[in-house]
Amino acid sequence: MVYLDLILVGFGNVGQRFARLLEEKSVRLRGDYDLSWRVVGIATKRHGTAYDARGLDVVKALRLAEAGTSLGALTGAESGRTVSPEASGLDLIRHATAEAKARRMQHLVVVETTLLDIERGQPATEHVMAALRGGAHVVTANKGPVAFAYREIMSATDNERRRFLFEGAVMDGIPVFNLVRETLPAVDILGFRGIINTTAHYILTAMESGRTYEEALAEMQAAGIAEADPSLDVDGWDAAAKTAALVNVLMRGAVTPRTIDRTGIRGITPEDMQNAVRRGKRIRLVASAARRDGQIVARVAPVELDASDPLASLGGRQNQVVLDTDILGPIGIQQLDGGLVQTAYALLSDLVTLARGLGRTDASA
């Protein structure tokens, strides 16, 4: 059996759905993958922090989070609390990695689901680096670290012999990174084209059928899919971060979201969308990258597509990436339904990937 001790840094929409999915799939993970887990720490920004090396009550944590109550109540002062309910995510990672070393807990995993910061990818990148340097593995659905600091992080994983997995950073649970890493050996990715921001895509398609920008955005917010700051979606920043992640990982580039040529969908009206449909066209927010004269040119922008273009026919909650490969030509990977559970699944699949490469361990003390 492989025993994983999890530290959840971020416990919002994604973090909570992940915790629930782990509970739902616990028996399957144990039976089919010899994988057993417990959550030993949770950090949030405004809803408290909790840590207990013997394991926290996840069901209670979910109840507290749903009620908006501080997670500090998970560990009473009388039970020898070692981390303050006010501790930051970074404090928790530092404490937990030090204690894991002292107690010889073998497989500590930091699950990073804090918010995307489009200025510098912080504090997520700091969380990832502290975890790796402290001897923990990292899985994340946050695009920030892979978009801003992929090279630095991978060199830390090599030095520390730890894993950094980020399948949820692009296309939620659809395995775009795993597809290339695990199933396309020796294939070069020459470029790609895709629709990779669900909120902006949903707004555009909703406006084609006469709904307003505000109505469509409100639906995405209610579904927990829009970024906490929706300007990240509508101004193309989220798509730029995902584009940077794809370029850095699949094309061995060294870009950041801020070096991507970016235009969002603000200013596009229902009339613009309906006029395009009348002309047999579709306006879509397209992310793309290609090599030109040895340089990688990457872009996010609204593009008017022919109705026959595969990207033009995608439904409102669907995403697609077409990879341009040297051996297999173009390969399309499509997400027919996107949402929180798919993102939570990306984290779960990363845990299984991680566990497959680890030796069996005894349960920690």
Ligand X SMILES: NC(=O)c1ccc[n+]([C@@H]2O[C@H](COP(=O)([O-])OP(=O)(O)OC[C@H]3O[C@@H](n4cnc5c(N)ncnc54)[C@H](OP(=O)(O)O)[C@@H]3O)[C@@H](O)[C@H]2O)c1
DSSP label at residue 169? G
Alpha carbon distance 126, 315 (integer Å): 37
**CB of 28 within 8 A of CB of 20?**
no
Q: Residue 153: helix, strand or coil by DSSP?
A: helix
Q: Which of 75, 97, 106, 114 binds ligand X (CB under 6 A)?
A: 114
Helix locations, 84-212, DSSP H: 89-103, 124-133, 143-160, 176-183, 198-208
Residue 276 found at the interface with ligand X (CB under 6 A)? no
Residue 141 found at the interface with ligand X (CB under 6 A)? yes
CA triple 318-111-236, angle to 5 deg: 40
**CB of 298 within 8 A of CB of 249?**
no
Q: Which of 56, 100, 105, 116 binds ligand X (CB under 6 A)?
A: 116
Alpha carbon distance 344, 347 (integer Å): 5
Residue 225 found at the interface with ligand X (CB under 6 A)? yes
DSSP label at residue 338? -
Minimum distance of ligand X from residue 199's CB (angstroms): 9
DSSP label at residue 204? H
Minimum distance of ligand X from residue 127's CB (angstroms): 7
DSSP states of 300-320 as a string? Answer: EEEEEEETTSGGGG--TT-EE
Residue 93 found at the interface with ligand X (CB under 6 A)? no
Nearest to ligand X of 43, 255 (CB atom): 43
Residue 9 found at the interface with ligand X (CB under 6 A)? yes
Site string for ligand X, 170-199 (x = CB under 6 A): --x---------------------------
Q: Which of 75, 142, 197, 364 binds ligand X (CB under 6 A)?
A: 142
Minimum distance of ligand X from residue 68's CB (angstroms): 9
The beta strands (E) that lie in 105-215 are given as: 108-112, 137-140, 164-165, 189-195
Q: Is 25 a catalytic residue?
A: no
Residue 257 found at the interface with ligand X (CB under 6 A)? no
Residue 220 found at the interface with ligand X (CB under 6 A)? no
Nearest to ligand X of 240, 312 (CB atom): 240
Catalytic: which of 25, 45, 143, 242? 242
How do beta strands 35-43 and 2-9 pair?
parallel
Residue 44 found at the interface with ligand X (CB under 6 A)? yes
DSSP label at residue 80? T
Site string for ligand X, 282-321 (x = CB under 6 A): ----------------------------------------
**CB of 153 within 8 A of CB of 146?**
yes
Residue 343 found at the interface with ligand X (CB under 6 A)? yes
The beta strands (E) that lie in 163-313 are given as: 164-165, 189-195, 261-262, 281-292, 295-306
Query: Among the candidate windows 10-18, 154-162, 252-260, 280-288, which touches ligand X by CB under 6 A?
Result: 10-18
Q: Which of 85, 135, 175, 224 binds ligand X (CB under 6 A)?
A: 224
Catalytic residues: 242
Provide the binding-site residues for ligand X, judged by CB under 6 A.
9-15, 43-47, 88-89, 113-116, 123, 141-143, 168, 172, 224-225, 227-228, 340, 343
